[in-house]
Amino acid sequence: MKASVVLLPGDGIGPEVVAEGKRVLEAVAEKFGHQFEFSTHPIGGNAIDDFGTALPDDSLAACKTSDAVLLGAVGGPKWDDPKAKTRPEAGLLALRKELGLFANLRPIKTHAKLLDASPLKTELVRDVDILFFRELTGGLYFGPSGRKPHSSGEEAFSTMLYNTEEIARIVRMAAEASKTRQKRVTLVDKANVLEVSRLWRQVTTQIMAEEFPEIAFDVVLVDAMAMYLVSRPRDFDVVVTENMFGDILTDEGSMITGSLGMLPSASLGSSGPGLYEPIHGSAPTIAGKGIANPLATILACAMLLRHSLGLENEAVAVETAVNRVLDQGYRTADISSGGPSIGTREMGDHVLKNLA
Ligand code: IPM
Ligand code: MG
């Protein structure tokens, strides 16, 4: 197979982890006889510095004509001024919107050998395997917002806005995915308070009853879900929720596995290239030191192979290689629980060795 992959290393540790992801994709191409063509483009804070915008036109154009996009991370203290004209995050949000990536898949899966890395009790996190579907192009992130003068100073508003179609398409995608898993879907909302959540509940309940009668379906309020994620995470299979709830819950969920450094994500639309990224941020305090954990990015590459290129065997090969490396005891600092650790490049080397 021939495929073009756009690399968007971004800021902070982004370039270091994307370099390892690229090496893994190259090794997969070699081993399985594919041809992957790579091109690298700016996004985020460095793009603001060089081009005055977090998502230069050329970067967006390259993404649009690619088969898949691998992103590192955007942001850092250098671009955190609240008065700045634009922020690195704006580049990521624009990319999601422009590529129509309405579904953000975030698997929260514990590894048997890494249970100690979790701040939660081992017996609680063993065998957790949750797949979050976070809505990604609607809600508070994209609804009408603004500021106006107020007698006390200013007044600001952000609006959570969803229509039937925006809800239906991600619910269908989540329910489809649950068919090859435990056949359970949980909707997370705040329907006891928010009108927009009542629409989510109405649309989701109807779709699940009419189109997916064989899938078990339940509903949990978002505040309760925040508790359940740390008290009984094993009870969930596929979870679907709106943009901001999903943002918060998936960061919380990542702690079940112990390290943000282990978690990949895929952002998909109904057609066109998908966007793959580690869910950790740019980690500016460790940037450039060569100690970042590349496994989330490498696992994101597995998702890229699976979801955008349809290469299931290749995806499994990468995931198996990562599992082996962990079984062999290799750890970067973030998952070493204070024990011996190796660097980013070395970790990449071990994955490559196991892939071969
Ligand atoms: C994420 C991040 C982004 C988000 C930021 C960087 C805009 O937190 O992907 O979860 O809020 O969506
Ligand atoms: Mg987030």
- Report CA(102)–ligand 2 centroid distance (Å): 15
Best probe residue, ligand 1, of 13, 69, 71, 92 (max atoms within 8 Å of C-beta): 92
Q: How far is CA 132 from the centre of its chain?
A: 9
Question: What pLDDT is stored for residue 160 in this prediction?
Answer: 98
Q: 84 CB contacts (<8 Å, ≥6 apart)?
A: none
Q: Please name the residue whose Cα sits nearest to atom 12 of ligand 1.
A: 247
What integer pLDDT is reported at residue 289 of this predicted model? 98
For residues 125 and 134, give the distance between their C-alpha atoms in angstroms, rounded to a whole number.
Answer: 22
Catalytic residues: 141, 190, 223, 247, 251
Q: 98: which residues sit within 8 A by CB, 6+ positions away? A: 55, 60, 63, 64
Alpha carbon of 354 to ligand 1 centroid (Å) = 32
Residue 251, both tokens: 């960061």
Mutation test residue for ligand 1: of 74, 80, 93, the one with most atoms within 8 Å of CB: 93
Closest C-alpha to 178, from 262, 105, 265, 110: 105
Query: Contact 253/233 with Cβ under 8 angstroms?
Result: yes
So what's the pLDDT on residue 14? Answer: 98
Number of other residues whose CB lies within 10 A of the CB of residue 172: 17
Q: Give the pLDDT of residue 82.
A: 84
* CA–CA gap between residue 242 and residue 318 (Å, rounded): 30
Q: Give the pair of three-digit tokens for residue 125.
A: 């996190």
The pLDDT score that the predictor gives to residue 256 is: 94
User: Which domains, ranges and CATH numbers included, belong to the chain?
Assistant: 1-118+261-356 (3.40.718.10), 121-130+161-257 (3.40.50.2300)
Instruction: Name the token pair of 89.
Output: 């995050």
What is the predicted pLDDT for the residue at 305?
98
Are residues 140 and 160 in contact, defined by beta-carbon separation less than 8 angstroms? yes
User: Residues enclosing ligand 1, CB less than 6 A?
Assistant: 89, 92-93, 247
Residue with tokens 């804070």, as numbered in its chain: 45
pLDDT of res. 337: 84
Per 3-state DSSP, the chain is made up of helix, strand and coil in percentages (nearest 5) of: 50, 20, 30
Q: Among residues 277, 282, 279, which one has the least CA distance to residue 292?
A: 282
Q: Which pLDDT tens digits describe the chain residue by residue (356 residues)?
A: 999 999 999 999 999 999 999 999 999 999 999 999 999 999 999 999 999 999 999 999 999 999 999 999 999 999 999 889 999 999 999 999 999 999 999 999 999 889 988 999 999 999 999 999 999 999 999 999 999 999 999 999 999 999 999 999 999 999 999 999 999 999 999 999 999 999 999 999 999 999 999 999 999 999 999 999 999 999 999 999 999 999 999 999 999 988 788 999 999 999 999 999 999 899 999 999 999 999 999 999 999 999 999 999 999 999 999 999 999 999 999 999 889 999 999 999 999 999 99
**What is the rounded CA–CA span in Å between residue 261 and residue 282?**
11
